[in-house]
């Protein structure tokens, strides 16, 4: 186990009707709020009315940044930061999934930064101070509700990049699984794929030990495997929604990555697909993952795949190791198929044309991964296999 | 899954040489420290010199409360609170295992309480304000380094009781597994038994769901099962010590109990044994646990025991359910035996004499548990079976 510094300061209010704590918690930070949300589903569902009703009843002033994009853009961040400055906002409240939350995080950091907001995405070390922010989650996927990272897209430069700062962690997050009951099937599926990918990115690691973290990661994978299909078939199954939501938060708040080298190869590859083609992040991850697994399987990564197959998929441990590993990869592919996610890049409108350019771009911050290091040509091979 | 409010604010610095952050972290709170520790093992190991050297080099003044008992007594709490008041202490630094830490926590709370320290053990709601405290852990066991609870003993009244307040959570904890290399075998064994008991107390629950939490709990149990014996045979095995230490913290910081009803029956029963006979807490737990399991096994608890046997002990799931459950309980007993822990009350000097009195006392705050509610006569039966 490697050394680590653990700090997960976000308070989580989990369960039905936890929105009742909203006004009390906001008042710890002030009385002027910027609401940040996406395409309007929270208006349809009645959540917007509920929130604004609570704010009004408690004399909390609020302004709104609506229409944050599924791959949130730096243009939205700029708008939000201006709104915060113009109105001396005390706390940013993101309502939605990772897109709204990530956008709110970078707005909160951009508020105190004098230059252009894109600078602090390109170079997180420029972030020195951050406005308090909080979240109300409506999609189990990115885990952004309980960590300090954010991903922002700049379509002018075709870049989708991660940034972060410890003070970008939400002060509190309200996680009410019933808010995910009305999600479209496709979003539930893509969100679940996103969670599994976060787990894979830290489970498959060059750190051979960290036994505890590996067993917890396997428990999280089993949770996604059990409840993803249930949530699709029975969208109002509380236990399914609750387990997926809590897994989304714990999968990427550090708990299973502390003490380990991490990969983040598939995310880096997928960010190119989203940046060039604006596809759904979770869909891109689900398409790439089995091909990435197949590509990196070799004599030195074999044992980890066997562990994965035996512990997560209950494959008989007495078989040939490569047979177990390949069966585990096949199970992974079948699982994503069972969620109704496309299984090839062509199905989401991506062809050979820009693969080489995207592969080059994917390593702009350096080679990918440690468990199996990937260079641009490796990424290109994985992209091609996924066509 | 039940509603829950998650807050784990303690920062953890985990790994070799993390003591290097000590002075920097203390200075966030001030420059006057009360060191709280036990019987002097930290003097033998050189850790005391190391810490006081760092404090002196950084102009941090310190006072000492040494000799905290294995079952920490309210008399020590009183002494410590007086030392804090006399010297206007800014932060209490507990060095040791759960005893030193629990004592430090209640000192921190007693500092601001005008009456006698025992009052705030009897009635935690009297705690209104708490001095900042931090810990340097030298024993993987109680998990007190990452939560807000404490257990204090009053030998005058023969009471060992838990208390707590959210501000009693350490501000930071330094977890360096190498500090446990020199532990006596018996303490390693008892500490490991304590960790497993914390997991059992929340794993066996009347909440049938909370799938994710159950899988994480099983991962923690597997970690204890794997590394307990290794740490006994090879005390300087870093990976064993690291996994046990991190499991001790995560087992009882809320992570696996949030969203569930919890039991805490065995702890309540054991507290009587310690209060009357001053035995080692982990030993008492290990003696009682298999008998408690056997006693509560019935048609309504059966499925949980099957889950435990199949998922934790890899017992074939296709057998008769009661056979699986009983095999799992037997495995539990064998496991504690393999750690060299006594398996009967007689071996630790407890006989029939006070069993009835202790059984009555164990329910002074109400019946025990939810998964299988225990009244005084049930407790007595378990005590007798454990003789």
**Is the four-CA dihedral B232, B237, B241, B243 of positive or negative sign?**
negative
Tell me, what's the pLDDT at B56? 98
Best residue of B148, B216, B314 to probe chain A, by most A CBs closer than 10 Å:
B216
pLDDT digits (tens, 9 = 90+) for B259-299: 999 999 999 999 999 999 999 999 999 999 999 999 999 99
Distance CA B185, CA B283 (A): 13
Tell me, what's the pLDDT at A380? 98
Chain Cα centroid distance, residue A368:
18
Query: What are the phi and psi torsion angles at A299 (to 5°)?
Result: -60, -30
Residue A229 contacts B where some CB pair is shorter than 8 Å: no
Mean pLDDT of B138-152: 96
Every domain of chain A and the residues it spans: 11-179, 183-386
Which listed CATH number (3.40.50.720, 3.10.150.10, 3.50.50.60, 3.40.50.1970) goes with B11-179?
3.40.50.1970
Whole-number mean pLDDT of chain B? Answer: 97
pLDDT of B47 > 90? The answer is yes
pLDDT digits (tens, 9 = 90+) for B192-248: 999 999 999 999 999 988 999 999 999 999 999 999 999 999 999 999 999 999 999
Q: Please say whether the beta carbons of A185 and A232 come within 8 A.
A: yes
Structure tokens at B82: 């007086």
Query: What are the phi and psi torsion angles at B221 (to 5°)?
Result: -60, -45
**Fold entry, domain B183-386:** Dehydroquinate synthase-like, alpha domain (1.20.1090)
Closest Cα partner for B160 from B213, B108, B210, B98? Answer: B98
The residue of chain B with its CA nearest to that of A215 is B219
Distance CA B98, CA B81 (A): 18
Query: What are the phi and psi torsion angles at A294 (to 5°)?
Result: -60, -40
Closest Cα partner for A176 from A63, A71, A95? Answer: A95
Tell me, what's the pLDDT at B121? 97
Residue A222 contacts B where some CB pair is shorter than 8 Å: yes
Whole-number mean pLDDT of chain A? Answer: 97
Q: Which residues of chain A have pLDDT under 70?
A: none
pLDDT digits (tens, 9 = 90+) for A213-261: 999 999 999 999 999 999 999 999 999 999 999 999 999 999 999 999 9
CB B220 to CB A215 under 8 A?
yes
Residue A239 contacts B where some CB pair is shorter than 8 Å: yes
> Rounded to a whole number, what is the distance in angstroms from the first to the last CA of chain A?
38
Residue A16 contacts B where some CB pair is shorter than 8 Å: yes
| A–B interface: beta-carbon pairs under 8 A | 119
The residue of chain B with its CA nearest to that of A248 is B212
The residue of chain A with its CA nearest to that of B242 is A1
Distance CA B305, CA B325 (A): 5
Distance CA A300, CA A23 (A): 53
C-alpha triplet B247, A203, A184: angle, nearest 5°: 110
Mean pLDDT of B72-85: 97
Query: Quick count: other Cβ atoms within 10 Å of Cβ A384?
Result: 14
The residue of chain B with its CA nearest to that of A9 is B9
pLDDT of B123 > 90? The answer is yes
Q: Which chain A residues contact residue B307 at CB under 8 A? A: none
Tell me, what's the pLDDT at B39? 86
Chain Cα centroid distance, residue B240:
19
Position B126 confidence tier, pLDDT thresholds 50, 70, 90: very high
Burial letters A94-103, b for 16+ CB under 10 A, else e: bbbbbbbbbb
| Shortest CA gap B221–chain A (Å) | 9
Please tell me which of the candidates A2, A9, A16 has its beta carbon nearest to residue B9.
A9
3-class SS of residue A128: coil
Position B158 confidence tier, pLDDT thresholds 50, 70, 90: confident
CB A218 to CB B219 under 8 A?
yes
CA distances from A252 to A141, A245, B162, B282 (A): 10, 12, 33, 33
pLDDT digits (tens, 9 = 90+) for B348-363: 999 999 999 999 999 9
Query: What are the phi and psi torsion angles at B179 (to 5°)?
Result: -70, -15
pLDDT digits (tens, 9 = 90+) for A329-353: 999 999 999 999 999 999 999 999 9
Please tell me which of the candidates B18, B212, B238 has its beta carbon nearest to residue A223.
B212
Tell me, what's the pLDDT at A155? 87
The residue of chain B with its CA nearest to that of A224 is B212
Distance CA B153, CA B103 (A): 10
CB A242 to CB B259 under 8 A?
yes
The contacts of residue B35 (CB under 8 Å, 6+ apart) are: B51, B52, B62, B63, B64, B65, B66, B93, B95
Chain Cα centroid distance, residue A333:
20
Mean pLDDT of B25-52: 96
Structure tokens at A41: 């589903």
Tell me, what's the pLDDT at B160? 87
Question: Three-state secondary structure along chain B?
Answer: CCCEEEEEEEEEEECCCHHHHHHHHHCCCCCEEEEEECCCHHHHCCHHHHHHHHHHHCCCEEEEECCCCCCCEHHHHHHHHHHHHHHCCCEEEEEECHHHHHHHHHHHHHCCCCCCHHHHHHCHHHCCCCCCEEEEECCCCCCHHHCCEEEEEECCCCEEEEEECHHHCCCEEEECHHHHCCCCHHHHHHHHHHHHHHHHHHHCCCCCCCHHHHHHHHHHHHHHHHHHHHHHHCCCCHHHHHHHHHHHHHCCCCCCCCCCCCCCHHHHHHHHHHHHHCCCHHHHHHHHHHHHHHHHCCCCCHHHHHHHHHHHHCCCCCCCHHHHHHHHHHHHHHHHHHCCCCCCCHHHCCCHHHHHHHHHHHCCCCCECCCCCECHHHHHHHHHHHC
The two domains A11-179 and A183-386 share their CATH topology (first three levels equal): no
Tell me, what's the pLDDT at B18? 98
Q: Which chain A residues contact residue B1 at CB under 8 A? A: 14-15, 238-239, 242-243, 246
Closest Cα partner for B121 from B139, B106, B99, B101? Answer: B106
């Amino acid at each position: 186990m490697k050394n680590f510094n653990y700090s997960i300061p976000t308070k989580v209010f989990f369960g039905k009707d936890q929105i009742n704590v909203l006004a009390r918690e906001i008042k710890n930070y002030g009385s002027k709020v910027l609401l940040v949300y996406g395409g309007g589903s929270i208006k349809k569902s009645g959540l917007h009315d509920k929130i604004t009703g609570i704010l009004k009843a408690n004399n909390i002033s609020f302004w709104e940044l609506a229409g944050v994009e599924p791959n949130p853009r730096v243009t939205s961040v700029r708008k939000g930061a201006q709104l915060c400055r113009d109105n001396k906002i005390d706390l940013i409240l993101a309502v939605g999934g990772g897109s709204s939350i990530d956008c709110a995080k970078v707005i909160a950091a951009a508020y105190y930064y004098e230059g252009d907001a894109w600078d602090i995405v390109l170079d997180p070390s420029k972030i020195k101070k951050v406005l308090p922010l909080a979240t109300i989650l409506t999609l189990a996927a990115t885990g952004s509700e309980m960590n300090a990272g954010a991903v922002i897209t700049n379509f002018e430069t075709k870049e989708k990049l991660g940034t972060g700062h410890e003070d970008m962690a939400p002060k509190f997050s309200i996680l009410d699984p019933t808010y995910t009951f009305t999600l479209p099937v496709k979003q539930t599926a893509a969100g679940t794929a996103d969670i599994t990918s976060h787990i894979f990115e830290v489970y498959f690691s060059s750190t051979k030990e960290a036994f505890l973290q590996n067993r917890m990661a396997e428990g999280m994978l089993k949770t996604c495997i059990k409840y993803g299909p249930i949530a699709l078939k029975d969208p109002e199954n509380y236990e399914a929604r609750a387990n997926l939501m809590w897994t989304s938060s714990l999968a990427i708040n550090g708990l299973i990555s502390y003490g380990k080298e991490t990969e983040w190869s598939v995310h880096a590859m997928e960010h190119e697909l989203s940046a060039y083609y604006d596809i759904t992040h979770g869909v891109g991850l689900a398409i790439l993952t089995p091909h990435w697994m197949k590509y990196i399987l070799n004599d030195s990564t074999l044992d980890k795949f066997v562990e994965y197959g035996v512990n997560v998929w209950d494959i008989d441990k007495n078989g040939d190791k490569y047979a177990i590993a390949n069966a585990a990869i096949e199970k992974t592919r079948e699982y994503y198929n069972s969620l109704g996610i496309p299984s090839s890049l062509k199905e989401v409108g991506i062809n050979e044309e820009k693969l080489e350019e995207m592969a080059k771009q994917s390593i702009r911050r350096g080679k990918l991964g440690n468990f199996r290091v990937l260079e641009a040509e490796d990424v290109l091979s994985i992209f091609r296999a996924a066509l």
